[in-house]
Structure 1
Amino acid sequence: MTPITEVEGRRLALSNLEKVLYPASGFTKGEVLHYYATIADTVLPHLRDRPMSFLRYPDGPDGQVFFVKNVPPGTPEWVTTAQVPRSEGPARMVLVQDLPSLMWAANLVTEFHTPQWRIGTPGVADRLVFDLDPGPPATVVDCCRVALWLRERLAQDGVEAFAKTSGSKGLHLLAAVRPTSSERTSEYAKGLAVEAERAMPRLVLHRMARSLRPGKVFVDWSQNAARKTTAAPYTLRARAEPMVSAPVTWEEVEGCRVPERLEFRAADIGPRVQDFGDLLAPLLDAGSARPLP
């Protein structure tokens, strides 16, 4: 029997709660659901009104991992969906607008990925993003150096940057911007990535070429494109451990000397939110958005 749970008046079938999804730590599907239930108030504002791409891993990170952009079969009728323009024609996608929808989506066992625009204005970005991806032997410690340079450079243009771990090996930089076409934000982000490479040629790369990656930090500016998505704040990742894409303070970025300092698991997030609140809350305040130069 699949237990039926009621969440804010919606009936939800939550399945396989005992199933171990993270073998390295024995973390179960029930614990995944508990994680999202406890941080729902913090995560939902970052998901709301953004069409959701799901990176599903129903049998854990060692099983099949696959991307789902269209509304999954069996989606309850009360989950909000919306039509989204795509190069291959319009498609319907899920919007995670409330707690029942979040718990339904978490039950699919998924990473949450969102674009830099909201549903009412597709292709008009309100976020700027840089994904700093280290090529071994480079680590997140090297990403921190690049992040600090980008933070300074953005500040010169009046743009305030915020950082979160990718939940994998790297770091994400986010900034709230006044509504700007995705083409324009991509162009601006690419310009800064090129500048960063000029300033730190031995450390930074702005092109994706795999052959150039070892020992360098790839500053991926391409996730600003309208069709691209980025792992959402607070999402669990399909890793060996229940790692989270966790917001971090600039003091933590400056003080990072070993990668472990910026590794956060599901159990770390509740206490961090209690201590710091939502470090990315300014991204949700339209008043703090800045125009791109």
Structure 2
Amino acid sequence: MPDPDPTATVAELEGRRLRLTHLDRVVYPAAGFTKAAVLRYYTQVGATMLPHLRDRPASFLRLPEGVDGERFWAKRVPPGAPRWVSGLEVTHGAETMRQTVVGDLPTLVWAANLGCLEIHVPQWRTRPETHDRLIIDLDPGEGADVLDCCEVALLARELLTADGLTAWPKTTGSKGLHLTVSLVETSAEQVNDYARQLARRLRTARPALVVDRMAKHLRPRRVFVDWSQNSSAKTTIAAYSLRARPQPTVSTPLTWAEVESCERAEQLVFSADQVAARVAAGGDPHRSLTEPAGACRLPG
């Protein structure tokens, strides 16, 4: 019987065997970016990306046919997953499910081979009640752009620094920016309260630019500071994850110098190839974010 996928190949990564399929499938038609290119990208950045994923239950946006095809969220470890794929029991409402933990390169490539283009993680590791990250999500409304987000990010950095907190900026891979603070383990309630107060402080400081409520009529020409992303039930696009957009853009860690010097929105749009080159040339500008020594304490 002929092989239904003549492009399939068996690869070995870190002692794990993987059957990689449909390698010639065009995942991003507008860019001609194939599934083979997706797998190559995640292999190139894997060692750099993994510390941002380790020990966190992953939620995947799966697009098996590419960005123009069906898309759906996947949380459970799927039937037939290799035995070496790690998982974590997570309760969602009244339901408990086993979610994938992307802890090594074979698991990352296995997930990408299933069409998991986007990888999202929560701000906690093993217990939803205790967070080790604070996320400041800056989302530009209609008429605003990432330059406005840069302005808000710099103001947020001032407030965070005054509170003894170190923030790390990255693009969302879409329109906005994320600022991430590494925390010593802190109650989810305390983190959420601080994020809400910070959003209010930003809105008070720049009411013509910042909004801290989701109401659509408030958002045109302003940046929405979505403090609710710190809810234990929510996830955020992971650093170095591809995005399911027409072009293979990436949620890209930045330096503050890049935020400060940005003059055009296009300067903070990075493709998979560009990010792979950035990593090869300079490593991870957010490496300290993943190290215990960089963890901060919330004030009070």
1:79 and 2:90 aligned: no
1:103 aligned to 104, 109, 115, which one? 109
Match of 1:235 among 217, 237, 241: 241
**Aligned partner of 1:104: which letter?**
W
TM-score of the aligned structures, taking structure 1 as reference length:
0.97
Q: Provide, for residues 106-137 of structure 1, a one-character-per-residue CA deviation record: whole Å limited to 9, x for no partner.
A: 11222000001112x33211110011110121
- State the match for 1:258 in structure 2: 264
Aligned-partner Cα distance in 2 for 1:41–1:31: 17
Which stretches in structure 1 are left out of the alignment for 5+ residues?
none
SS at 1:237 equivalent:
coil
How far 1:278 moved relative to its partner? 0.8
Which whole-Å CA distance do the structure 2 matches of 1:167 and 1:47 have between them?
Answer: 17
- Is 1:164 aligned to 2:170, yes or no? yes
Q: Which runs of 4+ in 1 moved over 4 A?
A: none
- The DSSP-based 3-state class of the residue aligned with 2:95 is coil
User: 1:226 matched to which residue of 2?
Assistant: 232
Residue 41 of structure 2 corresponds to residue 35 of structure 1: yes
Partner residue in 2 for 1:131: 137
1:53 is matched with 59
In the TM superposition, residue 85 of structure 1 has moved relative to its aligned partner by 2.4
What code does the residue aligned with 2:190 have?
R
Counting matched residue pairs gives: 292
Mapped partners of 2:219, 2:146: distance in 1: 14
Q: CA deviation at 1:72?
A: 2.0
In structure 2, how many angstroms separate the alpha carbons of the residues matched to 1:54 and 1:229? 10
CA-CA distance at 1:243 after TM superposition: 0.1
Report the 3-state secondary structure (helix = DSSP H, G, I; strand = E; otherwise coil) of the residue aligned with 1:50: coil
Q: 2:286 aligned with 1:285, yes or no?
A: no
Report the secondary structure of 1:193's partner residue: helix
The correspondence of residues 135-150 of structure 1 with structure 2, limited to 5 A, is: 135-150=141-156
Q: Distance in 2 between matches of 1:122 and 1:219?
A: 22
Shift of the alpha carbon at 1:74? 2.3
CA RMSD of aligned residues (A): 1.1
Unaligned runs of 5+ in 2: none
175, 188, 195: which one aligns with 1:189: 195
